[in-house]
Amino acid sequence: MIKPGALLLAAICLPALGRAEGLLPPLDAAASEQARKILAGFKANPKGPYFQIRWFCGDGSVLPPGPPPCGSRGGGNEHAELSAAARKLASWNLDVDTILTGLSFEQFLDAARGHHRLKELVLHKYLVEVDDGWIYRRAQYYRGARQVEDEEKIGRRLLAQLFSDPAWVGRNYFLANQLAGAVPHGARNSRVDKIRALAKSIADHDRRFEPIRVKIHNAPGPEDLPAVEKFIAERNAAGAVQAQLAELAGLLKQQQENRSLAVQLPALQKKLAGSPLAPSLDALAAALGAGNTAEIFAKGAAASLEIRRQVTASADGRRNLELLDLNALLLEEGFRAGASRSVANPTRRQLLAGLLDNARYAAGAGLLSLRELDAARGEIKALEKSNETGADAYYQSIRYLARSAEWCRATAAKDFGPLVRLYEPVEPLAGGLVDHLVRGSAALPLASRLEALLNDANRAVGIRHSILGQASSRGIVGLNPGVALGKLGIVSVGQEDAPIDPRGIYVIPETVADIQPMAGILTLDSGNALSHAQLLAANLGIPNATVPSALLPLLKQHAGEDLFFAVTPRRVVVLEQRARLNEAERKLWAERPAANKARFDLDTRRLNLSERRILDLTDLSASDAGVKAGPKAANLAQLAHYFPQNVAPGLVVPFGIYYQHIDRALDASGVTLRQEISQAYAEAERLRAAGETQAEIGRFIYPKLAQFRKTIETMPLLAAFEKELSERMRAKFGPEGSYGLFVRSDTNAEDLPDFAGAGLNLTVPNQVGSRNIVQALKDVWASPFTERAYDWRSRILRSSESVYPSVVLLRTVASEKSGVIGTMNLETGNTGEITVNVNEGISAVVDGGVAESLLLRPNGEVRLLDQARAPYKKVALAGGGLENRPSSGDDFVLQPGEIVALRKMVAEVKARYPAARNASGQVLPWDIEFGFEKGQLRLFQIRPLVRYQELKTLEALSRLEGADPPRGTVRMDERVEERP
């Protein structure tokens, strides 16, 4: 029988680093290999990334070192010149060395690249600290390479100019705090960052130090100094490591003595007397004087939050820089105080009060926005209002508050995830940056307090996750009910395209749109609930759960083992070795895994392949779905009928035209492409029926699929059709080149009552010009023959030879924001509520990523689920295609009037639109794609939101939820059990 144990999980999930797409192009394999060699050479070179020392004069002249020669040349500075190899890296957006002296503000700001250089400064500081000087390992002794006084002077000037723009600081407050610590300007560096970096560096050189490093990183406390001192006394470390150990012990001692804040606060009080910040500093000083840890923590949180308010409202850049330096001290003190336990066995009310202070610190650090802080504060205050509350309501509130840890992670991932993605292939240590920034911040004590509350809330409602024999709660969220048995695999960041066994259970770094078929998914980031991958997982009953990165070491120990993985209807997560199941469980799940839903044949009885005219979108109706065209076109036509002002003009290329093109011999053999396709699929089904493995079937069918794709992509169109297409496009959209089209696949094998098929086939965005549109049309026709589309489709359909694509040609809408609506609460299934995911730009949500996610309730309440954290947005180009540009960074995407428009539209759809039902006759909610163009609501697609509902399997899963009875109510003043 599955038995729970105990496992204390650390706080923060891995960042969602995303795919290769971004503002900057990734390096190809050859460039990555060359860059790795260059960096290795810098680490061994006494000059590092430098070539020679030179004078750089104001008139642009560059002169040899010697007595200052720039007096008559507009002044100047002496520093190193970058080597040719360093300049080569810079051409690949790897600016491995930035000398501030001589840098213009525009170069420093680097707005065109989304502040890439600013973020590199933070990364390079981290790499220097964790990698023994990194590329400056030997170059630190290269005299004259940098003039410290010049660098600090220029650093102060650049930061002051940057921080004089309150709008910029407000949108980039987390980055601003990181820059205050990374750019030299004469301020003291954070001890917390240095302590963590030293601990990691020591452990990398001496693995015996690893337990202490883990303790310092995950649960820092006063016991760390004695542990380090004992290690120094008992271990004979190498000379370089011994020096690092001594430095670490000194920093830990300083931290315990609280020198920095206690020493500097009186002077700061005097300097800021009479300012709006003065009362907060006075209250903090009083708490420090009394030695009251809880008060120090609370007053420091209030002061940090007040600094944010002052800095984001002031154009005094120098003063703002001073305040951010003070904030670094406050955050360091808050980190130390937050990691210590001020009250043994606290009550729920005390835990919630402390959590609010944790959230204030996180907002003071820029990890939480003020919008997110307000959302957390409102939830805490609602709980605190009464002396007791229902156990389920308490559980739901704590689960909501647990989002704040993910919100913190998303902030760091937004700013630094793309940078890490670019650097990690050439410098693997860069992969630890986001984790370092989050775990060394106010997010760690925040998550620690949340862990206690989540454990308590799970006990209150009887929930016990079980991960490999150990009871767990923190950071684990069940997403889709389902069950799987298979070998455990680990997919690392950057290896998302590695071969996947569709029968395996995989740990993946994110939920992405083009995920390959697998039996079970453990995501390190849930993505958005309406991404294509999430819809596919929900549809097919594939268990999907979010787990924290702290579980990775445990999971890696079991990689390759046969596991049982289930998510129950109440979202309890069970992961266990298959061998530990009892006989009844093995019989139940091994013989009938839920993910293997019954396969069925496509119903093609109504298919009309004789319709070979290009159709106007408005010529279709819902009854034409699966007849002349796919459900996308038919449903969109129905939508245009009810909302004619909201749907863009479009044409539809029906199934019959595709059939006409493949039902002809393309060579002298006389065999048509349709016959070849039918024969190949029939053989694949024969192999499946004979018991061949998926790998064997793939070895046969994949080359065939590639051949079909190439044939379709390169075949000539029938002359009559191409002529008709050109004429119809000119009549519908205007002169060639004056418009762009989204060329969208629309097969008869998607949006079925029991299979959504979301995102399996191609959409080619914003094609301009007949030649590009024609090629996009053929590419879309070919897309059902991708390996991924076949693998997903063949899990549920037996008759892939009956899959026919129609094509929707929809005029490009230059949406400033776009998203997806689910006409239900995706967590609870409440169809009286609406889930909205939206982000800036075109096609902003369905491909994954951190979108603004809102729950719209019938009483008018708008509940924040996630704030948009996309680093870039897609915009349509006049000449065709999309371009990634930096997102605005605003806290709100949807405005109140736009929310009203969405509510009204959903109400009309529910009232007037013909209901879609599943095979059991149940009414299905809707999945609606929308955008806003210059304030006007645009609608792009509507389809049923199919979710897995196999009752017998769900009933069996419910038996795994444990026997702990939920409590009726919980009291706020009751002390919380400390066991997990």
Per-residue pLDDT reduced to its tens digit, 655-696: 999 999 999 877 777 889 999 999 999 999 899 888 888 788
- Residue 342: Cβ-neighbour burial (10 angstroms; 0-12, 13-18, 19+): middle
With cut-offs at 50, 70 and 90, classify the pLDDT of residue 537.
low
Work out the pLDDT band at 598, boundaries 50, 70, 90.
low
If you average pLDDT over residues 239-257, what whole number do you get?
81
In order, the DSSP letters of 206-268 are: -GGGHHHHHHHHHS--TTHHHHHHHHHHH----HHHHHHHHHHHHHHHHHHHTHHHHHHHHHH
Would you state the pLDDT for residue 450?
87
pLDDT one-digit tens code per residue, 125-152? 999 888 888 998 888 767 777 777 888 8
Q: Say whether pLDDT at 61 is over 70.
A: yes
Write down the number of H helices and E strands in the chain. 33, 27
User: What integer pLDDT is reported at residue 915 of this predicted model?
Assistant: 85
Beta strands in 552-673 (DSSP E): 562-567, 573-577, 615-616, 650-653
Q: Give the bridge partners for 483, in sequence order.
A: 566
**φ, ψ at 82 (rounded to 5°):** -65, 145
In degrees rounded to 5, what are phi and psi of residue 764?
A: -105, 115
* Greatest mean pLDDT range, 130-139, 336-345, 583-592, 722-731: 722-731
* Most distant pair of Cα atoms in the chain: their distance: 94
Q: How far apart are CA 820 and CA 927, in angstroms?
A: 7
Q: Are 126 and 416 in contact (CB under 8 A)?
A: no
Residue range 798-825, pLDDT digits in tens: 777 888 999 999 999 999 999 999 999 9
> Which residue has 């009414």 as its token pair?
923
Answer whether 812's CB lies under 8 Å from 739's CB: yes
pLDDT(12) > 50: no
Query: Which tokens is 295 given?
Result: 């008060």
In this predicted structure, what is the pLDDT of residue 204?
83
E strands present in 812-861 = 817-822, 834-840, 852-856
- Kindly state the average pLDDT of the residues 541-554: 80
Which whole-number Å values give the CA distances from 502 to 29, 85, 556, in the listed order? Answer: 27, 44, 19
Nearest CA-CA partner of 182 in 161, 152, 157, 204: 152
Residue 899 has what pLDDT? Answer: 97
Quick one: tokens of 976?
A: 């919380």
**What is residue 473's predicted lDDT score, i.e. its pLDDT?**
59
Task: Give the tens place of pLDDT for each residue, 831-841.
Answer: 999 999 999 99
Give me the mean pLDDT over the 69-91 stretch.
Answer: 92
Q: What percent of the chain has pLDDT over 70?
A: 86
Bridge partner residues of 380 (DSSP)? none
Separation CA 593–CA 614 (nearest Å): 44
Q: Which of 327, 322, 325, 295 is nearest to 308 (CA)?
A: 327
What is the identity of the amino acid at 734?
A: G
| Mean pLDDT, residues 280-286 taken together | 90
* pLDDT digits 0-9 by tens, 770-779: 999 999 999 9
Residue 882 DSSP SS3: strand
- Position 78, amino acid: E
Task: Give the pLDDT confidence of 209-237 residue by residue, as tens digits.
Answer: 888 887 676 556 677 888 888 888 887 76
Q: What is the DSSP letter of 134?
A: G
Closest CA to 154 of 80, 79, 98, 103: 103
pLDDT class of 11 with cuts at 50, 70, 90:
very low
Nearest-5° Cα angle at 212, 208 to 216: 150
What was the pLDDT predicted at 294? 84
Contact, 173 vs 413, CB < 8 A? no
Q: Scan for tokens 């694949």, then name that residue.
A: 684
CA dihedral angle for residue 542, residue 547, residue 553, residue 554, rounded to 10 degrees: -60
In whole angstroms, what is the distance from residue 224 CA to residue 340 CA?
A: 12
More confident residue, 154 or 540: 154
* Higher per-residue confidence, 575 vs 949: 575
Does 22 have pLDDT greater than 70?
Answer: yes
Residue partners of 611: CB distance under 8 A and separation at least 6: 628, 654, 655, 656
How many beta carbons lie within 10 A of that of residue 269, not counting itself? 15
* Average pLDDT, rounded, for the chain: 84
pLDDT at 149: 80
pLDDT at 472: 67
Q: Residue 36: what pLDDT?
A: 95
d(CA 543, CA 565): 7
Look up residue 183 and give its two tokens.
Answer: 């750019």
Residue 339: the pLDDT is: 58
For residue 797, what pLDDT is reported? Answer: 78
* Most confident region among 515-529, 701-715, 787-801 by mean pLDDT: 701-715
- CA distances to 55, 280, 841 from 273, rounded to whole Å, are 44, 11, 46
525-549: average pLDDT: 64
**Which pLDDT does position 448 carry in this prediction?**
83
- pLDDT at site 952: 60
Q: Is the pLDDT of residue 947 over 90?
A: no
At residue 965, the pLDDT reads: 58
pLDDT of residue 593: 43
